[in-house]
A and B are shown apart, each in its own frame.
Chain A
Amino acid sequence: MCLAIPGRIIKIKNEEAVIDYGGVTRKAALRLCPEAKIGDAALVHAGFVIQLLDEEAAKELEAILAETEML
């Protein structure tokens, strides 16, 4: 149920974005993420963008893991 798919916003019109999922495009509502901009990586669940993805965060996780001596 909580399946969400990442894609990239290529167009925005009237609180609605067009999302590119590696070639396939679909519309998604922006009511829950009005700050979204063209070019953002977005997480889409049931027709709505629910969060913008932080593409730098992978490094952040490595830092967290290293800090807590998990590796």
Chain B
Amino acid sequence: MTNLDAHTLAQAIARKAQGLPEMTLMEVCGTHTHAIFRYGIRQLLPKNVRLISGPGCPVCVTDNADLARALWLAAQKDVVFCCFGDMLRVPCGKESLLSLRAAGADVRICVSPMDALALAKELPRKRIVWFGVGFETTAPHTAALIEAAERGGVPNISVYSVHKTMPQALRALMSGQNRISALLCPGHVAAITGAEAFRFVPNELHMPAAVAGFEAEDILAAVLALVTMLRGGTPSLVNAYPRAVKSEGNKTALALTEKIFEPEDALWRGLGLIPGSGLKIRKEYEAFDATKRFKIEETAVPAAAGCRCGEILRGLAEPTDCPYFAKTCTPQSPLGACMVSAEGACAAYYKYGGTI
């Protein structure tokens, strides 16, 4: 948090934005999406500064093909399938991890991947599978799990990794059809990768970028930085979350991720196949790779729900543009991933009033 208050920052933004054409700032972090609504940031901004949500929620961007494999794994005999709570309700056709659990599968919610490791030690006759979902912030945790399992000689745990990394996805997003003027970069991804990981945004994409924290003042300070750069026509990178983000990031976490994982092509819901945007377990650790330990049957992948999740994830449509939003698609009975995950754009719009 800065010592500058929200009111002062909002006034400064209004001054800087005066007389400029409409600016669209995209945030690519589900936690930002929610913070922006919770603090009423949109209402504090002038009309020509728009905030839109991008593909910043790992649950939302997990493709149905990956989800179908996770469901197959969870349904196997003696498997205890462990994951973060927000994956449970994501629909894959008519099924979800939750519906499998209701039908008798052993699916458990873990707060940390290390909970899955503890479970593996506790239940030596069971086959524990950790569903590795998340961006750079979370991938080191899964890497720590694999490292500890290897060191401790825990044979009955494996990982199904659909971890993803941001930079390639942002490049893909920006090179396609888009309406983005500047990027609000994810603060906790940057806490690991370092602010410098986003230097390519001004250098290659010629677009201003600001790393933002999660308090109202943090987000407003980053918006102010972006609007100032847009006004001056001088795209650069500003680290507006210096208390948690160093330019070089967390070297220990980066080295651990690098030790366990290597880049691979990954499918993103709404964005398709993006080269080098996924994290695959290296050959040296393949004993802990669920795709090697199990012979996963490729089941038919259910078609997308028919909602506009894909366009919403690319910032081309807002949740309220979708014909199903708040009608047949609600948090209680979601059609698409953006409504399931508490961090999804649709869930945020629904929770905070829909038309804001």
Chain A residues close to B by CB (< 8 Å): 1-4, 29, 31-34, 43, 45-48, 50-51, 53-55, 57-62, 64-65, 68-71
From B2, B112, B343, contact of A58 by CB (8 A):
B2
B253 at interface (Cβ–Cβ under 8 A)? yes
* Residues A2 and B2 in contact, CB atoms below 8 Å apart: no
* Residues B57 and A50 in contact, CB atoms below 8 Å apart: no
Q: Can you list 19 contacts pairing A with B, beta carbon distance less than 8 Å?
A: A1-B31, A1-B58, A1-B135, A2-B135, A2-B186, A3-B31, A29-B144, A32-B253, A32-B256, A34-B252, A45-B137, A45-B188, A46-B138, A47-B113, A48-B112, A50-B140, A62-B3, A65-B4, A68-B228
Most buried by B among A31, A46, A61: A61
Question: For the complex, would chain A's binding face be called helix, strand, loop or mixed by DSSP majority?
Answer: loop
Closest to B137 in A: A2
* Residues B112 and A1 in contact, CB atoms below 8 Å apart: no
B29 at interface (Cβ–Cβ under 8 A)? yes
Interface size on B, residues (CB 8 A): 53
* Closest beta carbon of chain A to B46's beta carbon, Å: 15
Q: How many A-B contacts are there with CB distance less than 8 Å?
A: 128
B250 at interface (Cβ–Cβ under 8 A)? yes
From A1, A32, A43, A58, contact of B57 by CB (8 A):
A1
Which residues of chain A have C-beta atoms less than 8 A from B246's C-beta?
51
From A32, A46, A68, A69, contact of B252 by CB (8 A):
A32
With A2-B189, A29-B144, A68-B225 known as contacts, the answer to whether A47 contacts B115 (CB < 8 A) is: yes
Closest to A4 in B: B188
With A46-B113, A65-B224 known as contacts, the answer to whether A1 contacts B242 (CB < 8 A) is: no
* Residues B250 and A32 in contact, CB atoms below 8 Å apart: yes
* Residues B4 and A62 in contact, CB atoms below 8 Å apart: yes
Q: When A and B form their complex, which 9 residue pairs have the shortest distance between CB atoms, in order from nearest?
A: A47-B112, A57-B243, A57-B242, A2-B188, A32-B253, A2-B137, A51-B191, A31-B144, A70-B228
* Residues A48 and B30 in contact, CB atoms below 8 Å apart: no
Task: Give the CA-CA distance A19 to B133 in the complex, in Å.
Answer: 25
* Residues A1 and B225 in contact, CB atoms below 8 Å apart: no
B244 at interface (Cβ–Cβ under 8 A)? yes
Which residues of chain A have C-beta atoms less than 8 A from B141's C-beta?
32, 45-48
